Structure 1
Amino acid sequence: MTDQSAAQAVPAEPPREIAVRASHVSMDFGNGVLAVNDASFELEKGRFLTILGPSGSGKTTLLQMIAGFRRQTSGDITISGKAVGSAPPHRRSIGMVFQRLALFPHMTAAENVAFPLKMRRFDLSTIPGRVSRFLDLVKLGGYGDRRIHELSGGQQQRVAIARALVFEPELLLLDEPLAALDVKLREEMQLEFRRIQHELGVTTINVTHDQREALVVSDDVIVMDGGRIQQHANPVELYRAPKNPFVAGFLGLSSFVEGAATADGNLKAGDVLVRGVPVGDLAEGAHVVAAIRAEQIRLAASSGELGSCDTLLDGTVVDTIFEGERQMYVVDAKALPGTTFRVYHHDPDGFGLFGVGDSVAIGWNRRDLKIFSPAAQR
């Protein structure tokens, strides 16, 4: 077989099917500040996207524009290839679950789930079977006759999910639906969202400020700040390769070092050379910011115990915080006045090994410290 025929024999990858596309979307409320500023992204059919960011970052406004509750000032939004800029919410094939579940208290769980089917004039003979199937999907089989006040918070959440999915929408939108739950129940429901989404394959967009939730449930994550999309990537890439200091600081726990870029792509803070990996082009002498995550820093009583770490610093413990499965130490670096490092220590036999005021050594490998160019800092 010739090289040409061999190349022809390789099957082509199927084309990507885009469920949602936002192109240069902005929202101006007329106060001179753009709530969403030139946001563009694509979401493939069947994937779970989380839009993550602090309060005021624009994440909820972006979701509201996709849902049709707000009309974008500029830009275009398409769902399944159809422009929806002027289409009202009820004309879009969208299911939604809000933080306030808006369940009808005078109805049973089954009646709540059946409501969108009746509104969409489904065949009445098919509604009971469909309601039963979706109550089973959310593990509420046998709870259909209960009133909303007879259900726990987690069970009410499941009713809301079933109601949003029962008419099999093209897109499921989640607006911080777990924010009001306690930590344990919230973590359980995160896994439930992931299971249900995988089982149905429904394209989903979730809005949250919960970092763990974004990493646990998502295929893709968008981080927003100041109305702009800061990074769009899968959870692993987002966590391990942040594009700028904001993403590095918002997702996970990072410590930062400021200084001047060196000719070989490292950072010099005072007289200390700090080795790292540049993110963007570093011009010698430019002011740069570097970030390293708490779990990537090694901690020991002396530098001789830190093996082959590329960077070694002496320090003093200024605080210790017990977090159950790990201890966090806050360490002042003697050679970098004003710079503190937060370090996770996971050894259960060593918890409480160091106390406030103890002299310690910290170290890390070059690959773990990211040095952001001035362009990445904007």
Structure 2
Amino acid sequence: MNKTKQQAAGGTDAEIAVSARNVTMDFGAPIPAVDNASFDVEKGSFLTILGPSGSGKTTLLRMIAGFQTPTSGTITIGGKPVDAAPAHRRSVGMVFQKLALFPHMTAAENVAFPLKMRRVNPADIPGKVETFLNLVKLDGYADRRPHELSGGQQQRVAIARALVFEPELLLLDEPLAALDRKLREEMQLEFRRIQKELGVTTINVTHDQREALVVSDDIIVMDNGKIQQHAKPVGLYRAPNNLFVAGFIGISTFMDGVATNEGIKIGNDMLIGTLTKGVKAGETARGAVRAEQIRIAPSSDALGSLDMMLEGQVEDVIFEGERLTYVVASDRLPDVKFQIYHHDPHEFDLFEPGAAVSFGWNGRDMKVFPCHPQ
């Protein structure tokens, strides 16, 4: 097999399972559905394509699957063009939001179906089906039909069916979107466990930022057909490339002003921050600081040593179960509402609406972005 390699971090060669170069899909709308996308997916890794509705993520996945042909650019799987073989003969498993299980078949029969279509030796099929039902923790459910299974169990059958013929590539098209939150979070961990156990290269599409951060080795963020950033989850979260990524991942407070070498100036107030690529002193800019990076306390003395401190008043307190979110206003910045996560889960009643508080952050935690498109 033709194997494509790239130089990976640390100086070692990493085998590339999927490669996209300058891929565009233009349906004739004002902007292309996918615009000049280029990226590589290492063999055995889990990549998530993340973005809002209409960002182009599903179109990109469909081109990787071979269901749509790019207007321009190339996509290879295992070093071979994606259109080198018809879709049904490619070594690609897929799980969709609509699971498309056969209602008249049992779980075992659904899982066996792709093996029969590939003319696997009938004597080998029962053992393979049992192995993959066990993998997704459905041993004992082989004889049940889809209507006799819960949503999560149906999802597991779909996963087993997509993996039973041991594909080179697994594609996931928002398969968890229809599940309730608790089950969705459980299945996210299951996807991660199964992918790590099998080592199958996986590309997942979702609009759920938590899912992307939980399951992925790498994340691509898309908007308006363009790749906005491609990074490891921690790097993506801590160092967003631009305003869109900063706003789409996590909860941030944004402040408009004029960039300086120290941060951003709003009126007569200098807010300490870190300038990102493309920001020039004297130009309009927007600062962004994440809710968990702002510290809040009854007084400035209680905050300790921070680069930036403000006085304010709590306007609202939002209980989210595992945390509280404070909405805080400051007379110095009347147009800004700061969202701040509580950092002590044992004292949820620390500040009530109307309480006077001090809050602040370190300069490295507020990113200053250019307001013009990048």
TM (norm. structure 1) is 0.94
* Aligned-residue identity in percent: 67
Q: Distance in 2 between matches of 1:30 and 1:278?
A: 37
Report how far residue 124 of structure 1 moved: 1.1
What is the aligned partner in structure 2 of residue 5 from structure 1? none
Contact map agreement 1:313 1:334 (CA 8 A) in 2: no
Report how far residue 32 of structure 1 moved: 3.0
Matched position secondary structure for 2:167: coil
Q: Distance in 2 between matches of 1:328 and 1:164?
A: 41
What is the aligned partner in structure 1 of residue 350 from structure 2? 353
Q: Distance in 2 between matches of 1:48 and 1:140?
A: 23
What is the aligned partner in structure 1 of residue 327 from structure 2? 330
Q: Distance in 1 between matches of 2:17 and 2:311?
A: 52
Correspondence 1:71 to 2:76: no
Contact map agreement 2:22 2:72 (CA 8 A) in 1: yes
What is the aligned partner in structure 2 of residue 193 from structure 1? 191
Correspondence 1:286 to 2:287: no
What is the aligned partner in structure 2 of residue 366 from structure 1? 363
Out of 252, 255, 258, the residue aligned to residue 254 of structure 1 is: 252
Q: Distance in 2 between matches of 1:247 and 1:86?
A: 35
What is the aligned partner in structure 1 of residue 19 from structure 2? 21
Report how far residue 281 of structure 1 moved: 4.1
Q: Distance in 2 between matches of 1:284 and 1:32?
A: 33
Report how far residue 86 of structure 1 moved: 6.3
Q: Distance in 2 between matches of 1:251 and 1:173?
A: 23
What is the aligned partner in structure 1 of residue 155 from structure 2? 157
Unaligned runs of 5+ in 1: 1-11
Q: Please report the RMSD computed on the Cα atoms of aligned residues, expressed in angstroms.
A: 1.4
Higher mean alpha-carbon deviation, 200-209 vs 24-33, is at: 24-33
Matched position secondary structure for 2:33: strand
Report how far residue 265 of structure 1 moved: 4.2
Report how far residue 255 of structure 1 moved: 0.7
What is the aligned partner in structure 2 of residue 101 from structure 1? 99
Q: Distance in 2 between matches of 1:146 and 1:246?
A: 45
Contact map agreement 1:68 1:87 (CA 8 A) in 2: no
Out of 298, 308, 319, the residue aligned to residue 311 of structure 1 is: 308
Out of 14, 17, 29, the residue aligned to residue 31 of structure 1 is: 29
Matched position secondary structure for 1:268: strand
Aligned residues: 365
- For 1:206, give the aligned amino acid: N
Q: Distance in 2 between matches of 1:293 and 1:90?
A: 45
Report how far residue 185 of structure 1 moved: 0.8
Contact map agreement 1:76 1:85 (CA 8 A) in 2: no
Correspondence 1:208 to 2:206: yes
Unaligned runs of 5+ in 2: 1-9
What is the aligned partner in structure 1 of residue 138 from structure 2? 140
What is the aligned partner in structure 2 of residue 343 from structure 1? 340
Contact map agreement 1:71 1:86 (CA 8 A) in 2: no
Q: Distance in 1 between matches of 2:12 and 2:314?
A: 55
What are the superposed Cα offsets for residues 83-103 of structure 1, whole Å, 9 maximum, x if unpaired?
114643213210000000000
Report how far residue 349 of structure 1 moved: 3.9
- For 2:274, give the aligned amino acid: V
Report how far residue 218 of structure 1 moved: 0.5
Report how far residue 13 of structure 1 moved: 5.2
Out of 206, 224, 227, the residue aligned to residue 226 of structure 1 is: 224
What is the aligned partner in structure 1 of residue 238 from structure 2? 240
- For 2:349, give the aligned amino acid: G
What is the aligned partner in structure 2 of residue 43 from structure 1? 41
Q: Distance in 2 between matches of 1:313 and 1:85?
A: 58
What is the aligned partner in structure 1 of residue 50 from structure 2? 52
Q: Distance in 1 between matches of 2:72 and 2:256?
A: 38
Matched position secondary structure for 2:14: coil
